[in-house]
Chain A
Amino acid sequence: MHQSFINFRHYRYGLIAGAASLVTLATYMLDRPRVPPNGGTWLGYTLGTIAALLVIFLALFGIRKRSFSSTIGTAIGWLSAHVYLGLAALLIATLHSGMHFGANVHTVAYVLMCMVTLSGCWGVYAYVSFPGAMIQQRGNLRRSEFLRQIAELDSSSLELAEGISPRITQLLAEAARRTDLGGGGLWKQLRGRDESTLLLGIGAAPRHSRLVANANQRALIRALAEIRPGRSSNEVALSSVQKLLELAGSKAALLQRLRRETQFAALLRIWLFLHVPLCFALLAALCIHVVTVFLYW
């Protein structure tokens, strides 16, 4: 069986974290503090200390995964522990709080912890499910291969178009130039919307040119389909247009796969933009929480 960070060493860290959670939960439920449960009872202090140490341990994963020469456990083992103990840490911190929340730094630390954990959960989901989906839809093609194939389709189209008319050549050149490959800013990558455009009415003055949306090359295909070969047309020209349509269709399919690929890659990265900065904010809030609790004891 493939060993991932989920089932690392037969769910070793899952079991450890589960057992720790159960013990904590049982202690919390059996404990009868003299005040309503809160972070200031002996159990509250204990759980708080454990949760704080866990947070520091979880943050250390960021260092360990970059230390390729480190021999303290394996990176996958650390990741496995990071995921499972992270979930347990949130439970322990919740019990530490005694469910008391307010507009203060203590709740800010807790909310940050929740956000870090949630973004981590999204990361786990992405790491478990996206790579498989990406491989499946990518069909063993690299990104550069996609781009090469699209470029090939573009130049084949242009070659073919030359045999028909300069107007169609210009149309296809514009279509190639104005193709949206799915790249760009993070938000655009995440949305994965085809924002290709097409310039219509080239060289047809006094008819003015206009830009139209060309998602999935639909506008191009429509424009090609509307071409009526002139009186001088022959079978060759007609079959060339037919060929152009095929090429446009293939390009649309390739573009869709490329965009999806880009979208997956963005989704795989975006959670780190939340997880890591929020983790640092959490560490800051946690330190302030600990200091201020005792500053105004």
Chain B
Amino acid sequence: MLICLIREVTGSAPAANRPTPGTVFQTTELTIGSAPDQHVQVPHKDVDPQHAVLRCLPGGRLLLTALGPKGVMVNGRRETRVQLDPNDTLQLGDTTVKVEPPDPHSNEQYTCVLRVTDPYTPDETSPAAASHSGMQAPRFTISFWSWTLTLGVAAIFLLVPMGTFLAPSMRKLLRSTPLVPSDALWSSGPLHAAHRFIGNDCTACHVKPFERVRNSECEKCHADVQHHVDVRTADVALFDRERCAACHFEHKEPATLVLRDQRLCTDCHARLDKLKSDPQIENAADFGTHHPEFRLAVLSQNELVAPGQWAPQWLDANNEATFKETSHLKFSHAQHLNPKGIKSPTGERVLQCADCHRPNSSGRQMMPIRMETQCSGCHSLHFDEHDPTSGVPHGSLQSMFRVLHEHFSAQYLESTGPTTRTQTDRLRRPGQEARQMSIDEQRRARDWADTESLKMARELLEKRVCVDCHDVTRVLGATGFDQWQIASVRLTQNWMPRARFNHAAHITQPCTSCHNNAERSKRSSDILMPRIAKCRECHGDASDTSKLSSDCVMCHRFHLPQRGRFDPAATQARASQ
């Protein structure tokens, strides 16, 4: 549209009160406002920078649209959207804009002609300064932003999350709806991976407000946690007020379930001699310098206390002369580890430790040594060189004797061995049954089998197979198969029951770097466990920076098996009775 704008100043302006040439705009819409880039610029405090626009409707009518909430005064009425007719007058601040009626004598084809009349202001400020009084206050004040932010923070982080806390019925909804604030915003850190299944159900553990998490909440899942000391002893009073959370911290980073700070142990263990009167107790303050020598528990039979029973027995850690294992096994590590090799079914073979000592599936401990799995490959129980299938079972003398007897009885019957019968006796004539053995013949057969199996048993037990590894004793006055006894063999599996050792963590070391007597040990009574000095070559105090810093929990546990349930509440109740 083509708009002609005639601008004039009313009053007695010295310069401007004279006919002014028109301004012609070719534009789709005419802008009105106080900003300098508006077509009709009206600098006034009541006029917005972009105040209104004027558009041409089809048919030549003009449509005025106010852009702000103030609207535009048209013919004295406040309008927001209005069609303009000739002679309509707009009031913008002190300025009037009049729609001129079409001039029939004009040559120009204007869409419309607007006459803008500004009042003459005799003061000294420039027209621009009338609207731009310098600093225009921002739309929102500091106190508006203060209230908004404060209430926003309070709503998001306190009021809405408080709903989860106060209204249990809303808990699930609030916690499960994404982007809705819940009490998860109060969490001071992530849960440990083991507890992550709890999710954001804070009240699962934080049951009572303003009270620390109680042991009873832990016990809902961890029902059978064992105590550190025997709950039947008076020592249990030392743990009266202990909370699970004193050692098991949550919501901390790095996430750890078990506190490794060794002061948790040494608070008591550094002065255990003062807390307990047991002379056996030794103090331990740290591994590198203040730790007692390793005490070993060897399996042994105490015939006075429990005949035939094997039980761990503590060795005197400071008296190496007592370091003997009585396993009743004959074994020489030196012979088996002979670097030149040892006889085997396939010839000379050089054995490695791992050929016999195999780790269990976790790699932490060694599997027990068994004849069937570790020894039988070389130590054959084969006894009859004419019968490759012959072999005595391992483990029970009675079974062995029975097998021998069966073997020689069968041999007699099948006459594969020396026999007193003639060949013709055994032949069945055509048309006749095989001949039955007479009573006499049966007795002869049994006597022969008895003699032969006894002979073989003697050879195995006293000369070549069993006796290689076992303590075989003769029973005075006994005859037949009853004359031999083999002492039962038990190898100590867990030398340090109070400590946890992980072979897998030490796999890069050769076995003999710790079990360094193995290659020289000739007797099975030798104990090949390392002493504390050996561990200290690599392991230092918890604060040691020159060695592997080793805290108590690296090897020891707090909750020990078979001590009774860890239940400080019960102890406290007992104490108060």
Contacts and interface: CB of A to CB of B under 8 A. Distances in A.
Interface of A: 34-36, 38-40, 100, 102-106, 108, 112, 143, 147-148, 150-152, 154-155, 158-159, 161-162, 166-167, 169-170, 173, 176-186, 189, 195-197, 199, 201-209, 211, 214, 262, 265-266, 272-273, 276-281, 283-285, 288, 291-297
Given A185-B138, A295-B165, 5 more contacts: A169-B16, A170-B23, A181-B126, A205-B4, A205-B22
Interface stretch (B73-81, B152-160, B348-356): B152-160
Nearest to B148: A277
Given A182-B132, A277-B146, A177 B41 contact: yes
Interface of B: 2, 4-5, 7, 14-16, 18-26, 35-37, 39, 41, 43, 49, 108, 124-129, 131-136, 138-139, 142, 145-150, 152-154, 157-158, 161, 165, 183-190, 202, 206, 209-213, 249, 252-254, 259, 261, 263-264
A211 B39 CA distance: 8
A282 B152 CA distance: 11
Nearest to B145: A277
Contacts of A183: 131-136
Contacts of B210: 294-295, 297
A103 B185 contact: yes
Contacts of B147: 280
A154 B13 CA distance: 14
B39 A102 contact: no
Nearest to A286: B153
A296 B206 contact: yes
List the 6 shortest-distance A-B pairs measured between CB atoms, nearest first: A203-B21, A183-B132, A277-B145, A281-B149, A34-B261, A292-B186
B212 to A, nearest CB: 4
Contacts of B211: 297
Nearest to B2: A208
A294 B165 CA distance: 14
Nearest to A209: B23
Nearest to A179: B128
B36 A104 contact: no
Contacts of B129: 147, 150-151, 181
Given A176-B126, A262-B135, A208 B252 contact: no
Contacts of B187: 102, 104, 296
A277 B39 CA distance: 39
Contact of A186 (B36, B133, B138, B157): B138
Nearest to A184: B136
A181 B132 contact: yes
Given A197-B36, A283-B150, A285-B153, A148 B125 contact: yes
Contacts of A36: 252-254
Contacts of B20: 166, 169-170, 203
A197 B134 contact: no
Contacts of B161: 292
A40 to B, nearest CB: 8
Contacts of A169: 15-16, 20
21 contacts: A104-B186, A105-B185, A147-B134, A150-B129, A152-B124, A158-B15, A159-B15, A181-B128, A183-B132, A185-B138, A186-B136, A186-B138, A202-B23, A205-B24, A208-B2, A272-B142, A273-B142, A280-B150, A281-B149, A288-B157, A291-B158
Nearest to A255: B128
Contact of A180 (B22, B36, B150, B253): B36
A250 B474 CA distance: 131
Given A177-B127, A203-B23, A205-B24, A162 B15 contact: yes
B186 A295 contact: yes
B517 to A, nearest CB: 40
A143 B134 CA distance: 8
B375 to A, nearest CB: 50
A84 to B, nearest CB: 24
Given A150-B126, A295-B210, A208 B150 contact: no
A208 B158 CA distance: 62
Contacts of B157: 105, 108, 285, 288, 292
A288 B154 contact: yes
Contacts of B39: 211
Contacts of B146: 276-277, 279-281
A219 B142 CA distance: 39
